[in-house]
C-alpha cells in the first residue's frame, strides 16, 4: 500500500500556524500587567470575621474591638448568640474580670458617608463579677487605618433598666427605656418610662445635652 503524503502547501502551513499562535500568545502576555497575571494565578485566602460580617455587613479579618466603658481596657468580640441576639466579649482589668455584651437587635445605621463605611449605634451592656449589668448607648464605625470595626464612644444609661427602643434622627439618638424605682427588686418589672436623648457630633461621639465634654480614646 502506498503511503499518502501531505501536499507541500499543507506541510508548510502547519509551522506557519504554530508560529502565529506563539506570536499571539506573546502579544497577550505583554499586554497584561504583572498584577493581572498574579491575580489570574494567585488568589489569596482572606479570613473574614463572621460576627462583623453578620452585624455590620463589612468584610474584615479583625474582630470588633470595644473599649470597655469608663475604662482603658479593650475587648474583642468573639461570640455571637443568634437566638438571644447577643454578641459578647470577655475582658480583664487587673483583678477585675467581666463581659461586654451587645444587644444586636438595637444596632441601627446612623450614617453612610460618601465612599466610606457605615456608622452604627446600639446598646452595650457590661457585667463584672456579679455586681450587676450596666447599660450604655454606643456608636461603632469602621477604622480604615486598622482595618477593623471599633466602638467610638459610649454614654451611661443605667443599671436598673430595660431598653425598649433606639431611634436616630437629625444627628441625635433617642433611647426609650423603662426604669425600676429604688424600692423595686430586679425580679420586678420596671414601671417608669424614660426617654434619653444624645447628640451625635461629626466624629460620632455622643453628647448628653447636659454634658458637653468630649471623650478621647486611643486604640492599640
| Whole-structure pTM value | 0.73
Handedness of CA 136, 172, 65, 67 (dihedral sign): negative
User: Which H or E run contains 28?
Assistant: helix 8-31
Cell of 17: 500556524
End-to-end CA distance of the chain: 86
Q: How far apart are CA 62 and CA 48, in angstroms?
A: 8
Whose cell is 454578641? That residue is: 87
Q: How far apart are CA 77 and CA 138, in angstroms?
A: 15
**pLDDT tens, the chain, 220 aa long:** 555 555 556 566 666 677 767 676 666 555 555 555 445 544 555 689 999 999 999 999 999 999 999 889 999 999 999 999 999 999 988 778 899 999 999 999 998 777 677 899 999 999 987 778 999 999 999 998 888 999 999 999 998 899 999 999 989 999 999 998 887 777 788 888 999 999 999 899 999 876 444 443 444 4
Contacts of 141-147 spanning 24+ positions with Cβ under 8 A: 141/117, 141/204, 142/56, 142/58, 142/60, 142/116, 142/117, 142/118, 143/219, 144/116, 144/117, 146/62, 146/219, 147/60, 147/61, 147/62
Whose cell is 433611647? That residue is: 175
- Secondary structure (3-state) at 218: coil
Amino acid at each position: 500500500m502506498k503511503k499518502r503524503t501531505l501536499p507541500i502547501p499543507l506541510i508548510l502551513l502547519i509551522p506557519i500556524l504554530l508560529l502565529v499562535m506563539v506570536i499571539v500568545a506573546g502579544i497577550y502576555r505583554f499586554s497584561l500587567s504583572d498584577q493581572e497575571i498574579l491575580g489570574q494565578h494567585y488568589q489569596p485566602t482572606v479570613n473574614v470575621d463572621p460576627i462583623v460580617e453578620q452585624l455590620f455587613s463589612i468584610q474584615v479579618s479583625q474582630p470588633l474591638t470595644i473599649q470597655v466603658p469608663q475604662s482603658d481596657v479593650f475587648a474583642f468580640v468573639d461570640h455571637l448568640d443568634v437566638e438571644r441576639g447577643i454578641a459578647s466579649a470577655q475582658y480583664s482589668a487587673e483583678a477585675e474580670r467581666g463581659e461586654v455584651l451587645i444587644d444586636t437587635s438595637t444596632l441601627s445605621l446612623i450614617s453612610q458617608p460618601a465612599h466610606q463605611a457605615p456608622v452604627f449605634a446600639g446598646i452595650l451592656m457590661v457585667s463584672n463579677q456579679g455586681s450587676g449589668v450596666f447599660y450604655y448607648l454606643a456608636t461603632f464605625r469602621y477604622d480604615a487605618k486598622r482595618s477593623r470595626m471599633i466602638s467610638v464612644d459610649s454614654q451611661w444609661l443605667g443599671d436598673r433598666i430595660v431598653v425598649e427602643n433606639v431611634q436616630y434622627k437629625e444627628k441625635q439618638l433617642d433611647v426609650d427605656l423603662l426604669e425600676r424605682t429604688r424600692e423595686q427588686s430586679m425580679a420586678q418589672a420596671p414601671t417608669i418610662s424614660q426617654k434619653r436623648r444624645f447628640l451625635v457630633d461629626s466624629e460620632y461621639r455622643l453628647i448628653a445635652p447636659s454634658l458637653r465634654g468630649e471623650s478621647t480614646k486611643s486604640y492599640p
